[in-house]
Amino acid sequence: MASGERPGEFEFIRRYLAPLSSEGGFALTDDAAELIAGEGWVVTSDMMIAGRHFLANDPLESIAQKALRANLSDLASKGAEPVHYMLSLALPDDFSEADMAALASGLAEDQTRYGVKLLGGDTTATNGPLTLSITALGNRPDKGMVRRNGAHAGDRLYVTGRIGEAWLGLQALQGRIQGKWAGQKAAYRQPEPPVALAAYLSGLASAALDISDGLLADAGHIARQSGKRLEVDLSLMPVSEQARRWIDADDAPDDRLLDLATGGDDYQILFAAPPFAEDAIAYAADQTGIGITRIGRVSEGEGVNATGRNGPVSAVRAGFTHF
Ligand SMILES: [Mg+2]
């Protein structure tokens, strides 16, 4: 990020952020925003810090998009379609006007893509790393948001998309694995949460969450909140062709499956649903073009039981935690 002349705080807001604003955001000219009517809101918040949640040299367009999409992922997993977001930024002193423009253009692209608009927020300078905090609001589904605590014994477990792609991308970006891994690097920088599934999810799922800390760690959250055991078959876990070859090439494929199931940053949805929902799930997958794969079941008990190609695998490696 080159330093030099850059707009002041209010000029930055006027020039780059106000064009992104919602109707109730008053072009970011007032102290607060106004939300009118609606059937209720689902609200979520996510903060991202350079060097921790993204690489400091990632493109600013994708950094902004990753911060926004992490929130859209949370909303989607609750069955809520995104509408508004609040953005708070701490910009390093060497953050240039070109950096500001890049950040705003990433957001503008995603606003069009996902149908969301900026409602407000805060900006400040910092002598620390670039920090973005986003709070997103989505329409509350008629039956209320899909909780983590509703899984029943006998339910089936499903995941969207592919698991472990972002983790592989990060390994490649940091030079820990060889090869091109272009799709995986993109998955790390610009996750694609299954936002279109939100409209169907509250009618299908008994429990759901988005996978940000790793499949097995997040499965543990559903198990704990629902008071049930989740049985996950990692050999059924959806992975890309390139990931499949990487697993097959290893003497201990179950270790590689475990890497992918504990890596995190997937921003896919893990959900439980009763057996009779199977046709409706297939229909939702067909309508949205989102891949949905059955990977296990819910039973009485507690915790997460993971099996690989060669039987039970040790899941002592927990997922990502911040502290
Ligand atoms: Mg989440």
Q: Give 74-84 pLDDT, tens digit per residue.
A: 999 999 999 99
Mean pLDDT of 48-70: 95
Question: How many angstroms is it from 176 CA to the middle of ligand 1?
Answer: 27
Query: Band of the pLDDT at 2, cuts 50, 70, 90?
Result: very low
pLDDT band at 323 (very low <50, low <70, confident <90, very high): low
- For residue 317 the two structure tokens come to 């490696």
Superfamily of domain 156-312: PurM-like C-terminal domain (3.90.650.10)
- Among the listed residues 88, 87, 85, the one whose alpha carbon sits nearest the alpha carbon of residue 137: 85
What is the CA(212)–ligand 1 centre distance, in A?
6
Question: Cβ contacts of residue 127 below 8 Å, gap of 6+?
Answer: 92, 93
| Cβ within 8 Å of residue 244, ≥6 positions away | none
Q: Can you give the pTM of this predicted structure?
A: 0.92
Average pLDDT of the segment spanning 181-194: 97
As annotated, the residues of the chain forming the CATH 3.30.1330.10 domain(s) are 9-139
CA of 269 relative to ligand 1 center, distance in Å: 9
Confidence band for 29, pLDDT divided at 50, 70 and 90: confident
3-12, 31-40, 102-111, 231-240: least confidently modelled range: 31-40
Between the CA of 147 and the centroid of ligand 1 the distance, in Å, is 11
Domain 9-139: CATH superfamily, name plus number: PurM-like, N-terminal domain (3.30.1330.10)
Determine the distance separating the centroid of ligand 1 and the alpha carbon of 74, expressed in angstroms: 5
- Residue (of 37, 138, 159) closest to 79 by Cα position: 138
CA of 16 to the centre of ligand 1 (A): 29
What 3-state DSSP class applies to 105?
A: helix
Domain with CATH 3.90.650.10 in the chain: 156-312
pLDDT at 42: 92
Q: 47 CA distance to ligand 1 centroid (A)?
A: 12
Centre of ligand 1 from the C-alpha of residue 22, in Å: 24
